[in-house]
Amino acid sequence: MSMPYIEGITPRCMRDEHVREWVDGEGFLRRDGYFEVEDAGLSPFDHGNLYGDAVFEGIRIDNRRVLLLREHIDRWVNSAVRLGIEFPYRREELCEIIVELCRRSLGSEGQSGYLRPVLTRGIGNLGVNPWKCVAPTVYVICSAIALYPKESYEQGIDVAIARDIRRNDAHHLDPNIKTNNYLNNVFALLETRHTGAYETLMLTREGYVAEATADNIFVACERGGRRELRCPASRYALVGLTRALILAAGRRLGFDVVEDEKMLPTDFVGFDREVFITGTACGLMPVRRIDGIETAAHGHRPLLDMLRKEMARLSTEPGFAIDIDSDEAVLRQYMAETTPL
């Protein structure tokens, strides 16, 4: 956690004598340190809390390797640039900080976890004006996440469709800026909560499929000896990194990969269509029914299984992840390399 020091406002945890103290480029005194969850504290005056004026990422740790860390950091930084929030750290420093947090949290034996890095506009007054904020707050949570029961990865889940709440586009709140304002998604989930579905599909203003509330969606099928993998284009959907990994896996396996701006809900239903959602938190999750209509016949999903295995194989290749036990030189080399996606 890192934030500017403001007498009487900055939480006590950041005033401890053991917390590192430094002056950033703006001349503000900053403090940072590593904390147990119950010892950390955010100011009630932080605009991330007050107005959702913040950007975040979700990152998975598997087998002591942080998956796509460089790509997540780059997307995090790009989101901040779009909001006009300046990071107090360089990319390489963010990598080192996150990896050190993983080491402290997992110890020498821990294998898996989930990271939630957040950058907020910082401490300001109770007005919405962003320029009244002193300097950004940065924090990263290392914890665990399990969105769905284990058996769902075999059985699949039910997905509903939000009809009234539509996905916002770049003219309102660009879905490719990963902000802490998820009210559009929350309203879609509230609309469909009576269905008992685990996830909800969001439609564009024109009625095309955009994405799910926290995941991207795909359909795979085989026709005339050709395998096809389709997903909605990125105009209304977050360009997810697990999405990119699946697209890369599909291309390597010889699928015809199509990103389509005009996919209808009916394009995802039928016994010949294997439907699944993807995300950092959920991985690759089969969809059993959409608004009560069956997808792949009797849970038979050979194409999904192929893609899942290829995605797992890709994740073990050099460049797709970084070992948390790597030294500083390896971390810096990793951050200097280009993305494999």
Could you state, in chain order, the average pLDDT of each consecutive group of 10 residues for the chain (341 residues)?
Answer: 88 83 74 90 95 98 96 98 95 97 92 96 96 95 91 94 93 91 97 97 97 97 94 91 96 97 94 95 95 83 95 91 96 92 80
pLDDT of 26: 64
Q: Is 113 in contact with 102 (CB distance < 8 Å)?
A: yes
Residues 6+ apart with CB under 8 A from 240: 215, 216, 278, 279, 280
Q: Annotate 67-129 with DSSP letters as a single string.
A: ETHHHHHHHHHHHHHHHTPPPSS-HHHHHHHHHHHHHHHHTTT---EEEEEEEE--B--SSS-
Q: Output b/e per residue, 201-238; b: 16+ Cβ within 10 A.
A: bbbbeeebbbbbbbbbbbbbbeeeeebbbbbbebbbbb
Interatomic CA distance for residues 337 and 23, integer angstroms: 30
Hey, CA dihedral for 201, 203, 208, 211, is it positive or negative? Answer: negative
Tokens describing residue 35: 């904390």
Full set of structural domains in the chain with CATH: 2-143 (3.30.470.10), 152-300 (3.20.10.10)
Tokens describing residue 170: 């770049």
- pTM (predicted TM-score): 0.94
Query: Cα 217 from chain centroid?
Result: 14
